[in-house]
Amino acid sequence: MTFRTLDDADLQGRRALVRVDFNVPMADGRVTDDTRLRAALPTIEKLRAGGAKVVLLAHFDRPKGKRVPEMSLKPVVEPLSKLLGAPVAFADDCIGDDAQTAINGLQSGDVALLENVRYHAGEEKNDAEFAAQLAAGGDIYVNDAFSAAHRAHASTEGVARLLPAYAGEQMRKELEALDAALGNPKRPVLGIVGGAKVSTKLDLLNNLVGKLDYLAIGGGMANTFRFAQGYEIGGSLCEKEMAETAREILQKADEAGCKVILPSDVVVATALEPGVATRVVDLTGEDKLSPDEKIFDVGPDTLAQVTAAMAECRTLIWNGPFGVFEVQPFDKATVEAAQEAASLAKTGKLVAVAGGGDTVAALNAARATGDFTFVSTAGGAFLEWMEGKELPGVAALSKGN
């Protein structure tokens, strides 16, 4: 998909309605992590430098169409102003007189933040009248919130149909990274998919096996695949009712020429506790799991297969850990795989793109995030993109619209 960016826009004196992701962690009315504020800075600064009047739209939490005081965006004003080194005006509503007064008071290069768009039921309903009221505050629309792009809401999709629409700098960065990972990747491509259940990632697996050269499956879902193949998995987490589906995915992968890497050896224990006694079991050997043993990580031979595939591949896309990385020593495979990927990416041998909440946490734990080519914090939007679904907020930015 080709999409419009701010390089295509005339900014001088224009009101830029910018959808950002300011759904930030807060405690006692204060922002506790400003990562998402910082992510919006390149777009805001580019607009300011171009002479635009910057009007920020965002949601916070789930007020469900009602004004909930503790879900106000007002606490964002002070930290955002400090990051910008410039004052940020605040409007007590995102539409109507309050919003218009704040917008009318802006000069070129000024910034205003409007109140939580989800205070209005029309936001999540993508109501045409509400979208028109939002659009009245801008001359152009900029979407810089990939994390909300999978939702067809008024501030992510509706407004984009009413104003000239552009991708912000963070959105552009995200879309270019995702295109490099799956759209037009350097081959061979390795995918790593972990997670507890096959049932939650069916669309993802079915889409990936047709696009990857290698697919490494970890987490609890790997147990379902191994069970489907007749291997003994003891008391491990397993969706036995998904066995036939797992076999169908493996068949589809084989037909597409995608080599699937499943655990050949696993780390087992009788309890999920730090420092618990563990042992490595070769699933293909004669040693078997006892009924009270559970699989909590992949073993060294499996890890070696994954890192060998990494060394052969030019692109990696990663969603989900190999084991229960939150509890040592079951973080070993995830951490070592992450560190190897980061090393290859740092030297330019691998385009390494990752996303999803657990994945980001795992990469942070491995101190590997900074060396990955790109790490998406978008969660649901990243997953739906990997599933091959069209994201309404992205489609609205297409040059074809």
Residues 251 and 342 in one domain: yes
Which sequence positions are flagged as catalytic? Answer: 36, 197, 357, 380
Domain that holds residue 334: 185-386
Residues 156 and 245 in one domain: no
Could you tell me the pLDDT band of residue 400, with boundaries at 50, 70 and 90?
low
**Of the candidates 144, 170, 196, which is a domain's last residue?**
170
Q: What is the average per-residue pLDDT within 209-215?
A: 96
Residue 399 counted as domain residue = no
Distance CA 223, CA 401 (A): 44
Identify the CA nearest to 266 among candidates 218, 309, 221. Answer: 218
Task: Provide the pLDDT for residue 318.
Answer: 96
Residue 129 counted as domain residue = yes
Task: Provide the pLDDT for residue 399.
Answer: 67
Residue 189 counted as domain residue = yes
Residues 204 and 88 in one domain: no
Digit-coded pLDDT (tens) for 261-280:
999 999 999 999 998 999 99
Residues 139 and 220 in one domain: no
Task: Collect all residues with Cβ–Cβ distance below 8 Å to 187 and sequence separation of at least 6.
Answer: 213, 313, 314, 315
Residue 394 counted as domain residue = no
Residues 131 and 189 in one domain: no
Residues 160 and 293 in one domain: no
- pLDDT surpasses 90 at 212: yes
Residues 162 and 233 in one domain: no
Digit-coded pLDDT (tens) for 303-326:
999 999 999 999 999 999 999 999
109: left (phi over 0), alpha (psi -120 to 50) or beta: left
In degrees, rounded to 5, the angle at the alpha carbon of residue 273 between the alpha carbons of residues 271 and 279 is 60
**Of the candidates 119, 143, 170, which is a domain's last residue?**
170
Extended beta strands in 259-388, E state: 259-261, 265-269, 279-282, 294-298, 315-319, 351-355, 374-376
In degrees, rounded to 5, the angle at the alpha carbon of residue 303 between the alpha carbons of residues 301 and 308 is 95
We report the CATH number of the domain holding residue 104 as 3.40.50.1260
Helix (H) or strand (E) holding 140: strand 140-143
Task: Provide the pLDDT for residue 380.
Answer: 84
Q: Is-above-0.75 flag for pTM?
A: yes
Residues 17 and 156 in one domain: yes
Residues 122 and 220 in one domain: no
Residue 180 counted as domain residue = no
In the chain, the number of structural domains is 2
Residue 401 counted as domain residue = no
Residue 375 counted as domain residue = yes
**Of the candidates 118, 136, 170, which is a domain's last residue?**
170
Structure token digits, residue 182:
């799956």
